[in-house]
Amino acid sequence: MGRETFLLSDKIKLIEASFIKEGWATVYESYQPNIDDQNLVYCCLVDSERVEKYRQDTNWVIQYGSEGKPTIWGNGKYQTYGEKGIEPFLFSKHFNFSGGHESYLDISEEFVLYFNLYEKGRDKQNRKFYFIDEVGDLDEVIIVEPKKIKVKLRYLIEYISIRNMYFSICFDFMRLDSKSLAELNVEPLDKDCQTENSFYNCYIRSIIGKSQSWVRGKVILNPDRSKKSYHFDYENQTYEKFITGYDKDGNEILEECKKDDKNHFVLTYFKKEVLDKYYNDPIKYKVDSWRVSSNFFSLKIDNNVEKFVPVFLTELGMLPYKEQLHWKQYNISPQGGISSTYYKTMIEGSWVEHPETPDLFFKYKYK
């Protein structure tokens, strides 16, 4: 074992990075490649009233394997092992039964319920949790493996921000080397290291026939105080801007598609290619002369014009924002008017039985 390896330099880099890599936070890791190399990463939530004191030492407070589990004392009193202000995020579970045994970690059900996460996997030790967005796409949020659990950072930060809590990533790394400290050119050490987001102890000593290097402590992830909107916050929904006309200097006017008292009948126009995405996936989307729809949205359109697609501006405000961005890239300058079929149906309220364009008329008549 080299000097830098013995000094746990690779682990110090993880601590300095707050166990975050490429948008993911490692909240659990447990492996022991050999008796001379032991690694444990664990986690918990810390209440804002307790966090300042919690930052000041290496004590995790939470204990792996005893996180918040209920017990009955001899006096018949029911309580959990949890401490006030310290909340488990992971729960270790162990089962021994006739013919076998099983162990795995479960995620805080409150976190799963907050994002309504969809769980899918081969077994309890190999599974993923997905967030289903507004258009039905799956986004990985939690990856569970036998010796490692990662959480996508932006979901974790949103969760602790709305709850006004802090997230502690606790760690315990130890290595042994058969060389003496003198051979490794290392001095004995017992030093506390504190940064803005971490507190840990570096400990180096000689024990029977070996040298030991040990780092133990915790990293604190802070809530985002500036965060104003959350995934379910419909009142702060984002609305894209679309071309609706020209100003006195001939510049295009862009207006938000949010509905107000003045823009009910404002039109905006799109290239016909905007519909290719939907035509090319007929299982997921349905397109006719009046609308394009899926299981997640429905947009009224005038699909009776051969060269472009007119849409009332406020109808676009009903789309998920991701879908608004799709339409945005095909937005064109005003073309003027809508089809007579669409006008009679949507404005006059006189339902027209069939579309105007040859392709949709053929589709309407074809059985």
In this predicted structure, what is the pLDDT of residue 8?
Answer: 93
At residue 235's C-alpha, the angle toward residues 231 and 237, to 5°, is 60
Evaluated on CA atoms 281, 364, 299, 253, the torsion sign reads: positive
pLDDT band with cut points at 50, 70 and 90 for residue 84: confident
Strands 241-246 and 198-207: unpaired
Three-state secondary-structure class, residue 328: helix
pLDDT in tens, 242-261: 999 999 988 999 999 998 87
Q: According to DSSP H, which parts of 198-295 are helical?
A: 276-279
Backbone φ/ψ region at 185: left (φ over 0), alpha (ψ -120 to 50), beta: left
Q: Is the pLDDT of residue 79 over 70?
A: no
Tokens at 71, concatenated: 């017990």
Whether the Cβ atoms of residue 55 and residue 31 lie closer than 8 Å to each other: no
pTM for the structure as a whole: 0.83
Three-state secondary-structure class, residue 12: helix
CA distance 113 to 67: 19
Three-state secondary-structure class, residue 270: strand
